[in-house]
Amino acid sequence: MKPSIFALCLVFASSGLLAQNPGWQPSPGHTQVPLWPGTPPDAQFGPPANTETAQSGDIGNVSRPTMTLYPPKGNNTGAAVVVFPGGGYQILAIDLEGVEVCDWLTSKGIACVLLKYRVPYSGPHWDERCKCHMNPKAPMALQDAQRTVGLVRFHAAEYHIDPHKIGVLGFSAGGHLSAAISTHFDKRLYPPVDAADKESCRPDFAVALYPGHLWIDDKKFELNPDVPVTRRTPPTFLLQAENDPVDNINHSLVYYIALKNAGVPVEMHLYAQGGHAFGLRPTRFPITRWPRLVETWLRTIGTIPE
């Protein structure tokens, strides 16, 4: 029998995990659930415990990753999206690229699972000390993403979710994380801890918005080899502005070409202007109307009804 989320919370609370620095907290009526029943894998490479910070809509020093379920409002489509906020694998833009996204998705009858994954240095990142791109000592963010998709699928019946309609959506570094889990799902990057880790962690679809870390060589137009696209990579939606000052548009272009070459259904939208890190907040640029494009695409691939 699968344990309920309430029971899981009691277990984690009794272990003392919930007595730590609370850090970021969701709005009333929503509960963070720790991903790991104990110390997360490779915790020694993450920030010290009990040092999480939450300020101005951003989170830092996440050592205890959690997921927060936002049930759909109104008609339940059965679909679910795990949301990966961006922040360069240094922080998490939890409001702009997390909570606000869940408010949009749930209003469309789509369950939202907001992942608070470990940062900093949990994925590829720009290191100011050497002025170069660095890979993490352990892929902690991807471990957290794999664990979350498996947990959501394991609890699909309890959450009133179709286990075949679980996707991911991420911004910037979170867009890279969407691509990473789309290409790393055959094998868990950590020792299995319970029955949830026996479930597939392959997303059924993926959305990457102004992604980074996919094009890593300024001299070559090639995809990051750490993102090994195959025909089993899920259908993907890409969006980026050509004047993005943080992540060059080539990040989306090289990924799009790799997906097309592998025969993966992919839709890409490029805009001349819009910059970076706009989330869902409307501006004068047409790119900020992207949620309608995603909704249409989800209907096109049969994830939500017409």
> pLDDT (tens digit, 0 to 9) for every residue of the chain, 306 residues total?
444 543 444 344 434 444 456 789 999 999 999 999 999 999 999 999 999 999 999 999 999 999 999 999 989 999 999 999 999 999 999 999 999 999 999 999 999 999 999 999 999 987 777 777 789 999 999 999 999 999 999 999 999 999 999 999 999 999 999 999 999 999 999 999 999 999 999 999 999 999 999 998 888 999 999 999 999 999 999 999 999 999 999 999 999 999 999 999 999 999 999 999 999 999 999 999 999 999 999 999 999 998
Residues 283, 274: contact at Cβ < 8 Å?
yes
How far is residue 32's CA from residue 203's CA, in Å, rounded to a whole number?
21
Q: According to the model, what pLDDT value does residue 130 have?
A: 73
- Based on its alpha-carbon atoms, the radius of gyration of the chain, rounded to whole angstroms, reads 18
Give which of 152, 246, 252, 241 is closest to 199, Cα–Cα.
152
* Tokens 């979350």 belong to residue: 148
Q: How many CB atoms lie within 10 A of CB 282?
A: 10
As a whole number of angstroms, the distance between CA 101 and CA 93 comes to: 11
**Residue 63 token pair:** 């050592």
Burial of 187 (0-12, 13-18, 19+ CB in 10 A): exposed
Residue type at 108 in one-letter notation: K
Class of residue 143 by CB neighbours under 10 A (exposed 0-12, middle 13-18, buried 19+): buried
The reported pLDDT for the residue numbered 2 is: 46
Distant-in-sequence, close-in-space partners of 70: CB < 8 Å, separation ≥ 6: 30, 102, 103, 105, 106, 111, 112, 113, 114
Residue 127 CA from chain centroid, whole number = 22
Cβ(53)–Cβ(59) below 8 Å:
yes
Residue 162 identity: D
Which domains are delineated in the chain? 5-300 (3.40.50.1820)
**pLDDT at residue number 208:** 98
Distance CA 73, CA 240 (A): 29
Whether the Cβ atoms of residue 246 and residue 240 lie closer than 8 Å to each other? no
